[in-house]
């Protein structure tokens, strides 16, 4: 920062002042208020301060939204939070409570660098002890009687929910924008559950049945030693779980699996009972996505849960990073928090996944993502090219432009893409003659684009027909916006162009970890005319390859320089987000699972 009077640069340091840090003793609620000044750029002018709690071998990164104003590169902020200390650590005992807990404060700047703020707290360990739950016989009778009474009054609660769904009153049980009959029911359910502890959710009842059957199975089987693959996702060939499973099969390892795409509320009781028995028999449980009913369990001692996760890197916020943002996710949630090991794509991703899963950083392992191994082998690349060119002969010998945007809207039911922003005919006609356009919509988007009859030979819609990762092997240019396919494209060094006509609006409506403009590994354009022009430049440079540039061709030299800058940015992007990927992720992850299974130095996290 420059002194306005002298013009001399003055080096400033971050400042952080705790205004309030009082604790309500009876419930362990920490009232936190802090203010300060930051000298590093803040992503999207939206600041998150993380309170990092540590006690002995336990650690939790708790996110707090801050109010922030940036002037001349300096950010002034204020943050307030009410933190339930008994919910901070997943397992916390009287033995832990005799030790003090330290609280440090951190933030991540727009470039993805973490900074520790110059203040910390020391708290008595007793504040973190779980609150005693009333469990007497008469209290149980009271709750059931209250539930019966509230059920008799259900029409009243539904009417109250109708007013909330119409927007006439606020409801803490509804997400922003939820409307209709379901919203009225969710409101009534939340209200009755808050009063009585019981609700009307089929999912919650089935989850409770799963926990009951697990506990019953654990009593019958005193020891566990099996390996279990557990998933609600369809088993994808070449996916993380599939590759790890195949590796262990080749090693001669036996295992159980319960892979059923039906969510718990649609599973029959027989399926729930079987999955609970398999979980009780397992010393290692392997997941590849969120498996909600597993987090309702008090896992038996010595059981390890490994989360392979399905995504590379970290872009949109997920997991416990959304605490305080969505109504159904409270500080007392157990979601994700019983993972013994979570696999990530680079060392830099560790703090983000530690926060999102509510686990210690030591439990987040940058071993790589198994499904990315194919991007480092020549055989798969050769086979997929031959298959795609054989299936779609019109792509052979052409420069393939892949248009793969993400959806707009709230989700599956109202997803769309504003096709008036991407005029297929105008775009194709602006491309070099030796190029073709492949469109790959997000699965949520049901709309179909239209093009002239004479352009149909140069336009191919592969939505729902091919894996996008396979198409990337034959892609000369990827045009996207906020899609996660940029991670895989970066590994293959595919040139990228970001068509972000609604960047400011999108960033405001979505919570993302980074400043998009800083981390996107390619040029960003906001108008359709600029998109056509830049696509032409990139394809011209791509066609030249490594040949010497002819300076008399207008725009070519500039295009080559931009290509070099984009390539440098791509390398930095890969190093930060994908630094652990090298084609051997499956082996490392599988061997880690075997070490847990055979207990040779790595056990379950308590």
CATH among 2.20.25, 2.30.110, 2.60.450, 2.60.40 for 15-128: 2.60.40
Instruction: State residue 466's pLDDT score.
Output: 86
Q: What distance in Å separates the CA atoms of residue 521 and residue 544, rounded to the nearest whole number?
A: 21
Q: Under CATH, what is the fold of the domain 202-372+585-597?
A: Rossmann fold (3.40.50)
Write the pLDDT tens digit of every residue in 238-270.
Answer: 899 999 999 999 999 999 999 999 999 999 999
Q: What distance in Å separates the CA atoms of residue 498 and residue 492, rounded to the nearest whole number?
A: 17
Residues 40/115, Cβ–Cβ less than 8 Å: yes
Q: What distance in Å separates the CA atoms of residue 195 and residue 535, rounded to the nearest whole number?
A: 59
Instruction: State residue 606's pLDDT score.
Output: 36
Cβ-proximal residues to 311 (8 Å cutoff; 6+ apart), any chain: 484, 487
Beta bridge partners of residue 75, listed in sequence order: 38, 70
pLDDT < 70 regions, the chain: 1-12, 132-135, 176-177, 327, 410-413, 542-560, 600-606
CA atoms 384, 387, 392, 394: torsion sign: positive
Cβ-proximal residues to 382 (8 Å cutoff; 6+ apart), any chain: none
Instruction: State residue 333's pLDDT score.
Output: 93
In the chain, ranges of CATH 2.60.40 domains: 15-128
In the chain, ranges of CATH 3.40.50.12580 domains: 378-577
Terminal CA-CA length for the chain: 46
Instruction: State residue 509's pLDDT score.
Output: 73
Instruction: State residue 152's pLDDT score.
Output: 92
Q: What distance in Å separates the CA atoms of residue 243 and residue 208, rounded to the nearest whole number?
A: 32
Instruction: State residue 556's pLDDT score.
Output: 54
Cβ-proximal residues to 459 (8 Å cutoff; 6+ apart), any chain: 424, 428, 436, 437, 439, 451
Q: What angle do CA 464, 466, 468 make, to 5 degrees?
A: 100
DSSP helix/strand/coil, 78: strand
- Residue written as token pair 């262990």: 248
In the chain, ranges of CATH 3.40.50.11820 domains: 202-372+585-597
Write the pLDDT tens digit of every residue in 33-50.
Answer: 999 999 998 887 789 999
The two three-digit tokens of residue 144, written as one number: 């059931």
Q: Under CATH, what is the fold of the domain 378-577?
A: Rossmann fold (3.40.50)
Helices vs. strands in the chain: H and E counts, helices first: 17, 19
Please tell me the total number of residues recorded for the chain in this structure.
Answer: 606
């Amino acid at each position: 920062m420059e002194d306005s009077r002298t013009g001399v640069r003055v080096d400033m340091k971050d400042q952080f002042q705790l205004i309030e840090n009082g604790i309500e003793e009876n419930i362990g609620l920490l009232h936190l208020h802090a203010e300060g000044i930051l000298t590093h750029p803040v992503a999207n002018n939206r600041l998150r301060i993380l309170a990092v709690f540590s006690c002995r071998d336990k650690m939790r990164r708790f996110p707090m939204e801050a109010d922030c104003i940036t002037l001349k590169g300096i950010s002034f902020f204020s943050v307030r939070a009410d933190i339930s200390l008994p919910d901070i650590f997943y397992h916390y005992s009287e033995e832990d409570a005799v030790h003090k807990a330290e609280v440090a404060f951190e933030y991540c700047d727009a470039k993805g660098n973490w900074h520790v703020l110059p203040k910390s707290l020391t708290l008595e360990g007793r504040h973190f002890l779980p609150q005693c739950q009333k469990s007497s016989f008469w209290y149980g009778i009271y709750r059931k009687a209250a539930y019966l009474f509230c059920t008799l009054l259900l029409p009243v609660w539904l009417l109250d929910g109708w007013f909330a769904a119409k927007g006439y009153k606020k409801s803490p049980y509804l997400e922003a924008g939820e409307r209709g009959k379901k919203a009225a029911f969710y409101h009534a359910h939340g209200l009755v559950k808050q009063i009585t502890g019981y609700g009307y959710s089929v999912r919650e009842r089935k989850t409770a049945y799963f926990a009951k059957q697990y506990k019953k199975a654990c009593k019958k089987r005193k020891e566990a030693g099996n390996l279990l693959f557990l998933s609600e996702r369809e088993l994808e060939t070449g996916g993380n779980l599939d590759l790890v499973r195949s590796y262990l099969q080749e090693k001669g390892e036996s295992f159980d699996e319960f892979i059923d795409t039906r969510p718990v509320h649609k599973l029959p009781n027989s399926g729930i009972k079987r999955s609970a028995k398999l979980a009780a028999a397992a010393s290692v449980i392997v997941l590849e996505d969120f498996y909600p009913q597993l987090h309702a369990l008090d896992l038996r001692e010595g059981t390890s849960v490994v989360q392979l996760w399905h995504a590379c890197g970290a872009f949109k916020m997920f997991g416990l990073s959304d605490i305080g943002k969505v109504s159904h996710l409270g500080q007392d949630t157990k979601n994700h928090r019983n993972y013994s090991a979570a696999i990530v794509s680079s060392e830099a991703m560790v703090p983000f996944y530690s926060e999102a899963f509510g686990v210690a950083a030591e439990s987040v392992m940058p071993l790589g993502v198994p499904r990315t191994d194919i991007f480092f082998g020549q055989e798969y690349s050769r086979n997929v090219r031959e298959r795609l060119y054989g299936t779609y002969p019109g792509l052979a010998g052409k420069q393939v432009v892949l248009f793969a945007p993400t959806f707009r809207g709230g989700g599956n039911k109202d997803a769309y893409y504003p096709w008036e922003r991407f005029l297929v005919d105008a775009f194709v006609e602006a491309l070099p003659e030796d190029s073709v356009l492949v469109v790959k919509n997000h699965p949520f988007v049901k709309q179909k684009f239209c093009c002239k009859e004479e352009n149909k030979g140069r336009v191919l819609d592969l939505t729902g027909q091919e894996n996008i990762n396979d198409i990337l092997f034959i892609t000369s240019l990827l045009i996207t916006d906020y899609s996660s396919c940029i991670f895989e494209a970066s590994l293959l060094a595919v040139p990228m162009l970001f068509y972000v006509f609604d960047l400011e609006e999108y960033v405001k409506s979505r919570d993302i970890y980074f400043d998009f403009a800083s981390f996107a590994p390619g040029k960003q354009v906001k108008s359709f005319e600029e998109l056509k022009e830049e696509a032409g430049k990139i394809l011209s440079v791509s066609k030249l390859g490594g040949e010497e540039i002819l300076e008399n061709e207008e725009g070519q030299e500039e295009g080559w320089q931009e290509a070099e800058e984009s390539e440098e940015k791509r390398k930095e992007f890969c190093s930060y987000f994908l630094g652990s990927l090298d084609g051997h992720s499956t082996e490392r992850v599988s061997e880690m699972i075997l070490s847990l299974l055979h207990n040779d130095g790595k056990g379950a996290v308590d």
